[in-house]
Each structure stands twice: as C-alpha cells, then as structure tokens.
Chains A and B, each alone.
Chain A
C-alpha cells in the first residue's frame, strides 16, 4: 500500500491563528486524497475530498473558507485551519486513495487550540 506522511504530528496554537497541515504521499501518485477529523471516542468524519489540480469537494457542514485545502501536486495536499478556535481542536487525518478504493492513512495530526 501507499506510504503517507503528515506534518506536523502535533501542534498547539493560540486561538485566532492559522495552522497548516501537510499530507504527503511518499511512494504513490495520489490523484485523490481525503481529509478527516476525529474527535475522541468518535468515528472518522470526512471533511473533504481533494483532487489534484482542482478544487476540493467539501462535506455538508464543513466551512470551505475555514478549512482551506490545496492539492497542487500528486504527492502533496495541505489543509489550513484558518482562525482556529478551541472547538477546532481534534485529530486531523489525511488519506490517499489507492487501488480498489482502498484508503491509506497518514499518521494524523493532533491540533490543540488554546
């Protein structure tokens, strides 16, 4: 399967600042990537589907102006949480779509907004 990395793995920031999370597909050309959010003891919640070279498709209820997604190359997608607030504190996970619709996940980024 694909090897996926995320950076940073941990970030603590002040309320009102913006945070950028990078997702890299290290050995696979990722036409499609997904961004998820997971709150403690809850399941994965899909935020958006990111296709290389085009605008991301956001799930209902996810603010596209707050969660900016850029997928400019086949190996990199970024998620920027703009003007972060404490309620944005969560575990953010990206995944790469591989063969047979299998998704390969990055290690996740823990965001804590103070």
Chain B
C-alpha cells in the first residue's frame, strides 16, 4: 500500500533549528510536497522536490532522497509564527497526492 510517515508532534525553541522528517512508500513517484497549515486554516504551499538534494528557500529548506524514500523540511531561525502543522505529501505514478497526517510543530519562547 501507499504510506507516508511523519512524526505527530515536535517542540522547538524560538531562534533554533528544527528538522521534520518524512518517509514515503508510493506506487511510483513524481515528487514530494511540503505544506504548512496553521490551526483552523487551509494548507499553504512551501516546497516541491522531485530531484535528490536540498532546495533552499529563505529560512526553509527541503531535502529529498529518492533511493531512501525520505525527505525532510528544515526550518531555521524559528519564529513563533512558525507554530503550525507541516504536511508531507508524495505524488504517485498516477499523479495522485498521498498525504501524511502532518507534524504539529510547537515553538516555545
């Protein structure tokens, strides 16, 4: 079957760095997305990786290893507004998005 695994919850300190991991098993693979979802709001797009390696976008970076079925989202210089759920989603061979349950990130002062 198809499956996405990511931690349920993580806690980090303001100003620090946090890495949110995601492993995936899909029928074929056409890329991996990260979305941010604040409580009570809809998800917003953060990143898309289809090739191996690290993509940096400001304070956020996303990494992909296709051979390992693994990705991570790296958040630097954490701010209180980064408190949110982070959703990992993989695109399978039929271009269907398989969603993870999300990682709730709690930022403490």
Contacts and interface: CB of A to CB of B under 8 A. Distances in A.
B100 A103 contact: no
A104 B101 contact: no
A46 interface: yes
A104 B102 contact: no
A101 interface: yes
Contacts of B100: 43
A44 interface: yes
B31 interface: yes
Interface residues on B, range: 10 to 19
A107 interface: yes
A105 B44 contact: yes
B31 to A, nearest CB: 7
B48 A107 contact: no
Contact of B101 (A43, A46, A103): A43
Contacts of A103: 33, 45, 97
A105 B101 contact: no
A100 B31 contact: yes
Interface in B82-108: 87, 91, 95-97, 99-102
Nearest to A107: B42
- The 7 A-B pairs at the shortest CB distance, nearest first, are namely A105-B42, A43-B101, A108-B42, A93-B42, A43-B99, A44-B99, A105-B43
25 contacts: A1-B45, A42-B101, A43-B87, A43-B99, A43-B100, A43-B102, A44-B43, A44-B87, A46-B96, A46-B99, A93-B42, A93-B43, A101-B91, A101-B95, A102-B33, A102-B45, A103-B97, A104-B45, A105-B42, A105-B43, A105-B44, A106-B42, A107-B41, A108-B41, A108-B42
